[in-house]
Structure 1
Amino acid sequence: MSFPELMALQYRWQIRNEGDKQTLVYYGLRNPPLHTQLSIDLEDLVAEHIGALAEARKRDELPEELLAHPQFMKLVEDGIVVDANAVRHPATEETKQECTRCINNDMLLPGLEFNEEGVCAFCQCYERAEKIGASAGPQNFITEEELLEASRNNTQSRFDVMVLCTGGKDSTYLLWLLGKKLGLRVLAVSWNMPYTNDTCKDNLRRSVELLPSVELVERTLPWNMIREAMKGQFAKVGVPCLCPTVAHVLFFPMAVEERIPFIMQGVEEVQLAVTSYVMDELKSGKKAKPAPAPSHRDMTLGFFSTVAHAPEPPKPHAITSDFMRYQRSVREQLEPLYEHLDNTLKRAKEEPSLPIPEFRRLRTNKTYGTWSEVADLVKTEMEWKMPPGHKGLLHTSCVIERVKDYCQFMRYQNMRSTFFPQSIVEVSAGIYFGLISREEGFAELEGLGYFGEPEPLQPLLDDLGITRESIETEGDMAFSLCDCKECR
């Protein structure tokens, strides 16, 4: 095998320790089929010498036993060890590459690769999954016909469906669809997340007034509890968010007690695009093997069991590891809230005949039409209002949504996390699946929190009692709020 005269690790590959092993971790998304190469466990000889390639090294400076090692040759073959002149560099506004199909670019998603046609790795993954019939949308989807049939047969509860609500466009659409169009008996539930904007709080109350058959239950948590939990989240996992986990913890036991057949929430299919079309293979680094589909009861219990008892990530740099750490951290911050959920899950395990509400979703890529059509519908039918000054239709209910964007982007840029910044990927998926145009996607992008510190950040830090001086000593917060060039 021939080697470049001057060799180096490609941009965004980093050596990380995982227990007693060293692993090469990629902070980005490669073109399929190499998109499964997120981490590579290094054999001892390669691990001993690969660190030297963090900088350019001449071929004759490397040991012959390394050059002859099969794993090292594979790293060269797969473009992980490359000619030093081919090492990519951080993209700027002037040098960034933009996907020709969506709006993803390698400045906001460093490490993103493109094929010869300029199509990004995400769009390639979506197309690839569709062609082979893999993970085409959420497994737990439900149709309007199935909902109506279940309602006709529902004699065990006053309600046909529970809807987790915020007053944003998606949950408002759900209330309209289920409560008005289908005429189902809906229990709307919400909790007092203090950073839900006032407009969406009003939207929710107005929805209930316009749909007099819908019942609303609201839970209120103490502000001191929320403040300490958000501050703890910031330090533990680098983002302050508690949603939607708190709603899952509070309301799943209620749905079981009320014997409600279904639980639904306003989450679009594009918000699950990475999970549905990309992550299944990234979890293991292998193509997902066909397996018998679990029952909806088992899927629901599996989901809420993860909410209650997320395991320690076996691979700390896997793309799923941030999600597991987030769930574990929410529980750590809000442990007293979990007793009812724990008891419910224990009872469900001990009583296989216990009716369990199924956690189901719409196939929004087919149901919605477009985002603008949904927004027009809820404005007309539900008198829904867009929050003042809000620019996009992706996430409409949270005041600190851009803070989450910013923190996710900084953690990804600083190579603290392999988890992709959500919002840009979701907008881009919306373009790919035809929910918005590419031009509308660029407009959405402008409203996201990727372009410097967002305005809501400082008021949030003040609310949580976090000073600028304390950020670097507050656990993972430094990777979210500091530009750690030395980390990269």
Structure 2
Amino acid sequence: MEINKYHLQNRWKLDNKRLIYYGLRNKENLFNNTFKLNNKQIVIIKELPKVLNNKELKIVKKILGESIVLEKDLKIIPKSFDDAQFCTNCVANDFMIPGLEFDEMGNCPMCQTKDDVKDLKSILPIMNIIPKSKKSRFDIGLFFTGGKDSTFLLHYLSVVLDLKVLAMTWEIPFMSVNSLKSIENAKKKLKNVEFISRKINEQDLIKFYNKLYSLSGNTCACPSLAYVMFYSDLVDNKVPYFVAGNEPVQMLGLYYNHLAPKLAYTFSNNKLLNFMINVGRIITFHPPFKKGQMQTLATMKQLAYSDNIFKKISGYSSDLISNVVTSIKEIKHITIPLKRSIRRSSWSGNIPAFIHIDFNDISDGNFNWKNAKKTIEDECGWVGPSDSEKSLHTSCNIEKCKEYSQFTRFYNMESTMIPFSALEIALASSNKHISIEDAVKEMKESLGFSLKEIPECKIMKSYLKNKNIVNGIVYFSASKETKSIAKYFREKTNYQLIDLTSYQDRNSFDYTINFNNLVLCFPVYSQNIPEPVNEILANIKSRNTVLIATYGKMGTGNVLYEAAKYFENIIGAAYVPTKHTYLENERFNDFQKLDSLVNRILSKDKIKISIPERKKSFLANISPKKRSQLSVLITVNDNCIECGICTKVCPTKSIINGHIDNTCIRCLRCVNECPSKALDVKYSYPLRKYLQTEKINELIIY
């Protein structure tokens, strides 16, 4: 009987009402990675593995043999390079890219489609010859890291083309010693280049890195944050063009990662589309775009304002960029100069054009990595990494961490993004930029493709742990009432504001941090501490703590007394009356009344206090969550567009495929965050009567 059981094929995963394939498929199905399901199919898939009867087989007929297979037909996912199948023409393999398919000849999808993509050179306008500027001190700007590609480009621009170059470097804490030496040597050797470098203050950088690490598993944000920092310099100096050091395989990798359609590679040469866009510019009294200027504004606006709705709908938005943009919001004040320069350049037409220089074209048809390294060593004093075989991404000490996190997230089907380096090394070997032998050696010894955490991750984690701001305001706020209290403390103390409302943020938060001063803000639910807050209390550590419990004017319970048991030194606490989640009553606005607690947390003298025990209703401890579930009914109406936002924002991970399970705490975050107003709430009669009782509006400070 067991042999007749059907399974969901490996690398397919159920996601709401879709099956998603995590891998790279053969040419005929290259981007057919999703399959929409009906309700009957979803029910069957959730029950797999199982024996299917004739009726069930008919329901899943369309995906039988592909997504649903017998156990004997399950694909084996390799756990090392030694177990992997390699492409017959390049180093692509199904360990480095799990879910990689091969045709009958043993070719990977990239080799199968090689002729189809030979003209896909760049999503930016290609300009290999740059005219000298008559209106600026500089002919072109370059984002310069000291790595192989940006140094090769700097040599081409300043030596081969004899241009005046503005080289811009964002100094990150993880820059490799060899890249720093390469930058210094380039300063000595290249006389027509002006070098500028910039750092982000450490407090802001930590906030940014913490958020990005929680979202992506790494802190890599190059070159996005550099664009934010230097765009104003490009505009102020009227630099006509700027370029980043992207070699051919990096540009082509965007296509195979389903981040850029074929249209994106021909867009800059599409006269009709560009004409229509410029008509819109002229109608709105803006100067028409020159080649590359639209790409500049699109890039900068994405960083300043996040993805536009059309990009999200298209399916070509990138978690990589959206995570960086989300993290930038943690320090959004750094985008103020960027936004100002975007507006100014858009109106004036003084927009530096974002262009691409094709490394193949300027290298006699083929960009050879070894030859490039020899050229820049001789001409620019470039210093390679201690690992002499390494050619991909040579400027950063934690590059392998990015590869490791992208690889493990893809391997575990947590992200649909194929590791960039996996595509790049495969494409480079296929296109003869590097020999098969050298590519295999680099892939196995120099890149981060490992299921076991690599040693370099300690560099990143150690930096975040040691540099973390040890004073913090941590809050849980499903309805945003508690958040307003937390923000007031943030304004008064300038401590780091940490939101642990979402399941993802709590799950990824580093509980090894020992706060020096901590303000912990949370709501009262049914006169009790919410379950997610109990999870925080059990794990968070601090030397000095202020506790803030917000309540909806119905009852405080005894939550501060109960929470205080987790801490050794409570120096202040308060019950703050505010708007009830289920009522439209007044919010708390007397923030200045909390200043005594602000003074205590900022004072050098920390005096321990005791919190008295308070009485709570005899019903409070009788199945509080079950009582809430019985009293508050949440249903889905016809407005639902299956956007998945309710699932994403749920603090307890209680919503799966639109269904609310019995772990729900009835915080109504899903209801309040739903963009389509697709969730209806109905209160039981006993709850409605209870909510009509006289309100308590007392601020209690200890």
The TM tier, using the shorter chain, reads 0.7 to 0.9
CA distance in 2, matches of 1:260, 1:26: 44
The 3 A distance-change label for structure 1 pair 325 and 103 is: same
Give the structure with the larger strand fraction.
2
Shift, 1:399, TM fit: 0.5
- AA aligned to 2:126 is I
Q: Does 1:121 align with 2:109?
A: yes
- AA aligned to 2:108 is C
Aligned match of 1:447: 446
CA distance in 2, matches of 1:401, 1:248: 19
| TM-score under structure 1 length normalisation | 0.84
In the alignment, is the contact (CA less than 8 A) between 2:128 and 2:358 conserved in 1?
A: no
Aligned match of 1:194: 173
In the alignment, is the contact (CA less than 8 A) between 1:39 and 1:318 conserved in 2?
A: no
Aligned match of 1:464: 464
Aligned match of 1:342: 339
- Structure 2: runs of 5 or more not aligned: 275-290, 468-499, 511-702
Shift, 1:125, TM fit: 3.6
Q: Does 1:106 align with 2:94?
A: yes
1:230 is aligned, of 209, 212, 218, to: 209
Aligned match of 1:481: none
Shift, 1:175, TM fit: 1.3
Aligned match of 2:234: 255
In the alignment, is the contact (CA less than 8 A) between 1:140 and 1:359 conserved in 2?
A: yes
CA distance in 2, matches of 1:180, 1:139: 26
CA distance in 2, matches of 1:81, 1:206: 58
Shift, 1:91, TM fit: 1.3
CA distance in 1, matches of 2:350, 2:261: 34
Aligned match of 2:134: 155
CA distance in 2, matches of 1:429, 1:477: 37
CA distance in 2, matches of 1:277, 1:421: 11
In the alignment, is the contact (CA less than 8 A) between 1:162 and 1:186 conserved in 2?
A: yes
Q: Does 1:138 align with 2:130?
A: no
CA distance in 2, matches of 1:316, 1:67: 33
Shift, 1:414, TM fit: 1.4
Aligned match of 1:485: none
2:307 is aligned, of 311, 327, 335, to: 311
Shift, 1:123, TM fit: 2.6
- AA aligned to 1:311 is D
Q: Does 1:86 align with 2:84?
A: no
Aligned match of 1:74: 62
Q: Does 1:325 align with 2:318?
A: no
Aligned match of 2:520: none
Q: Does 1:358 align with 2:346?
A: no
- AA aligned to 1:86 is D
In the alignment, is the contact (CA less than 8 A) between 2:240 and 2:351 conserved in 1?
A: yes
In the alignment, is the contact (CA less than 8 A) between 2:207 and 2:331 conserved in 1?
A: no
Shift, 1:31, TM fit: 0.8
- AA aligned to 2:10 is Y
CA distance in 2, matches of 1:30, 1:466: 43
Deviates more, 1:273-282 or 1:422-431: 273-282
CA distance in 1, matches of 2:354, 2:509: 33
Q: Secondary structure at the match of 2:319?
A: helix
- AA aligned to 1:423 is S
Shift, 1:282, TM fit: 7.3
Aligned match of 2:249: 270
Q: Secondary structure at the match of 1:215?
A: strand
CA distance in 1, matches of 2:413, 2:145: 32
The 3 A distance-change label for structure 1 pair 317 and 103 is: farther
CA distance in 1, matches of 2:319, 2:71: 32
In the alignment, is the contact (CA less than 8 A) between 1:125 and 1:278 conserved in 2?
A: no
Deviates more, 1:365-374 or 1:431-440: 365-374
Aligned match of 1:482: none
CA distance in 1, matches of 2:208, 2:507: 14
Tell me the alpha carbon deviations over residues 296-317 of structure 1, each in whole angstroms, 9 at most, x when there is no partner. Answer: 2212211222222223888799
In the alignment, is the contact (CA less than 8 A) between 2:307 and 2:317 conserved in 1?
A: no
Q: Secondary structure at the match of 1:36?
A: coil
CA distance in 2, matches of 1:237, 1:453: 15
The 3 A distance-change label for structure 1 pair 477 and 268 is: farther
Q: Secondary structure at the match of 1:279?
A: coil
Deviates more, 1:255-264 or 1:298-307: 298-307
The 3 A distance-change label for structure 1 pair 309 and 475 is: farther
Aligned match of 1:58: 51
**Aligned 1:289-300 pairs, distance under 5 A:** 292=272, 294=274, 295-300=291-296
CA distance in 2, matches of 1:213, 1:282: 38
CA distance in 2, matches of 1:123, 1:263: 32
CA distance in 1, matches of 2:338, 2:372: 34
Give the structure with the larger helix fraction.
1
- Structure 1: runs of 5 or more not aligned: 479-488
Shift, 1:335, TM fit: 1.2
Q: Secondary structure at the match of 1:33?
A: helix
Shift, 1:141, TM fit: 4.0
- AA aligned to 1:259 is K
The 3 A distance-change label for structure 1 pair 247 and 475 is: farther
Aligned match of 2:408: 410
CA distance in 1, matches of 2:378, 2:164: 22
CA distance in 2, matches of 1:392, 1:213: 29
| TM-score under structure 2 length normalisation | 0.59
Aligned match of 1:239: 218
Aligned match of 1:217: 196
Q: Secondary structure at the match of 2:124?
A: coil
Shift, 1:137, TM fit: 1.1
The 3 A distance-change label for structure 1 pair 302 and 195 is: same
Shift, 1:364, TM fit: 1.6
Shift, 1:346, TM fit: 2.5
RMSD of aligned Cα (Å): 3.0
In the alignment, is the contact (CA less than 8 A) between 1:390 and 1:447 conserved in 2?
A: no
Greater RCO structure (CA 8 Å; 6+ sep): 1
Shift, 1:281, TM fit: 7.3
Q: Secondary structure at the match of 1:372?
A: helix
Q: Secondary structure at the match of 1:183?
A: coil
CA distance in 1, matches of 2:321, 2:401: 21
Q: Secondary structure at the match of 2:243?
A: strand
Shift, 1:370, TM fit: 0.1
CA distance in 2, matches of 1:219, 1:433: 36
CA distance in 2, matches of 1:328, 1:473: 17
- AA aligned to 1:43 is N
Aligned match of 2:643: none
The 3 A distance-change label for structure 1 pair 474 and 462 is: farther
Q: Secondary structure at the match of 2:258?
A: helix
Aligned match of 1:486: none
Tell me the alpha carbon deviations over residues 140-164 of structure 1, each in whole angstroms, 9 at most, x when there is no partner. Answer: 243433x1xx21xx22111000011
Deviates more, 1:85-94 or 1:416-425: 85-94
- The number of aligned residues is 446
Shift, 1:198, TM fit: 2.1
- AA aligned to 2:305 is H
Q: Does 1:168 align with 2:147?
A: yes
1:381 is aligned, of 374, 379, 382, to: 379
Deviates more, 1:371-380 or 1:36-45: 36-45
Quote the sequence identity (%).
27
Shift, 1:118, TM fit: 0.9
CA distance in 2, matches of 1:110, 1:339: 41
CA distance in 1, matches of 2:168, 2:505: 38
- AA aligned to 1:362 is I
CA distance in 1, matches of 2:317, 2:508: 17
